Structure 1
Amino acid sequence: MSESILETERHVPARRENHAGAWQDLAIIIAVLVIVKQSVLPFSYLYAGPASTFSAMIVGTILLRRRGRGWSDLGLRWPDNWLRIAGLTILTMAAFILATQLMDFVAVRFFPDVGTSGRFDHVEGNLPAYIGIMALVWTHGSFFEELLFRAFVIDRTSTALGGGWKADLAAALVSSVFFGYRHYYYQGCTAP
């Protein structure tokens, strides 16, 4: 009983926030992501994404602190129940596999295969380049992108839309579409 009360109290500040502030935070983060990436792309195809994500993490941290919040309020903390997390992980992986198959089916029928950019071709047979790219993937891809797109963008979008399960679903969709847009320039749509 007390655990559910604590869970509710953790989420109350996000629901009481004004919608205009959430829209403002979302607009600032998206602007940073787009402007920094587009500014770096002419100089580095490889580091444009990481530069924009890292910049947005700094700005996101400032925006959260300005509102009296931190990344822990968006989920960056140790779970209260590891067994529940394990179950949700298995469920999420099953949903991911199903969604991947469904999206592949849709993508092949509606989007042309533009191929890939070859931006990682220099890694093959180059151990230092491989280690550098893996360090980038483990920080940028596995950590910063997840915090920004799965925590910050979803939280701010849901709050901006008034909260609740419909706002949460819309926020997950917005996050996914923007995440896909950010990766399309070098991954494209691939056919089986």
Structure 2
Amino acid sequence: MNSKKSFNRKEKVYTILSKSYVVALVMLLAPLLNHLDRNFSFFFGLGIVWLILWVSGFNWSLFGFSKITGRTILRAVIFTMFLIVADTCITLIIEPIFGEPNLASLKGIKHDTVEYLVTLIIVWVFASFGEEFLFRGYYMKWLATLMGNKDWAWIASGIITSIYFGISHYYQGPAGMISIIMWSLMISAIFYKNRMNLGLVILIHGLHDTYGLTMIYLDMENPLAEFIKAYLSNFTFK
């Protein structure tokens, strides 16, 4: 009897949370929690996602999860290399205008192996998995469904989600927000073309952040950025 009541409660919760308009309400309510702490917004959204996942009987396909194969990993590596090049070019344009992003919270990992490894674990769990699970698997996918699940709805959802994602990183300053919006648009485009392969964008996010953290740990400038600057210095514009 108790198990039947529990099942009925879960079914009722799922019926409510799976309403198409709920994702819009969550996206509107979550930022209000930033007044308490900037992480509350993220964990509120993630909590809703885990609740939906639980009451659905852990139906991961609701968020675009599918089996990660060797081909998925290979594609993730290739996409990551492309994104690093694109992100570097965007950064070279943005930073002279808006300055460098505020990454003060990561300065502690410089030449500190333990701190670096701990940060890597946190990034893979909460940034690559957590953020993609929330922003692409829930916000983008479910918002596209709310708008009709057509191609145009996915494109619009990707743009809205990317801006939303960038603004959520307001603590990195204007340069950080703009570069993250541009990066998120590229990730959203990849998910748009791979709607049932959330694992792909999770891997891309993790590999991309690992590269960035490694540069900070080694206290190195982005070698690709230095190469581009050196290459462009060979040209004179009249």
**Structure 1: distance between partners of 2:73 and 2:105:** 35
Query: What is the CA deviation profile of residues 54-98 of structure 1, one whole-angstrom value per residue up to 9, with x for unaligned ones?
Result: 33222122245567873332222315x754x36754674476357
**Structure 2: distance between partners of 1:29 and 1:114:** 28
What amino acid is the match of 2:65?
A: L
Alpha carbon RMSD of aligned pairs, Å? 3.5
Aligned residue runs from structure 1 range 1-192, under 5 A: 21-32=19-30, 34-40=31-37, 48-49=38-39, 51-63=40-52, 70-79=59-68, 83=71, 85=72, 89=76, 92-93=79-80, 96=83, 99-100=86-87, 103-104=90-91, 107=94, 112-113=98-99, 115-186=101-172, 188-189=174-175
**Structure 2: distance between partners of 1:88 and 1:125:** 31
* 5+ long unaligned stretches in structure 1: 1-16, 41-47
Query: What is the CA deviation profile of residues 141-178 of structure 1, one whole-angstrom value per residue up to 9, with x for unaligned ones?
Result: 11100111111111121011111110011111111111
**Structure 2: distance between partners of 1:124 and 1:93:** 23
What amino acid is the match of 2:116?
A: Y
What amino acid is the match of 1:23?
A: Y
1:135 to partner: Cα distance: 2.0
Distance 1:165 1:97, change over 3 A: farther
Distance 1:68 1:30, change over 3 A: farther
Percent identity of paired positions between Structure 1 and Structure 2: 18
**Structure 1: distance between partners of 2:116 and 2:160:** 32
What amino acid is the match of 2:110?
A: E
Q: 2:208: which partner in 1? A: none
**Is the Cα contact below 8 Å between 1:60 and 1:152 reproduced in 2?**
yes
The structure with the larger Rg is: 2
**Structure 2: distance between partners of 1:89 and 1:53:** 25
**TM-score (normalised: structure 1):** 0.64
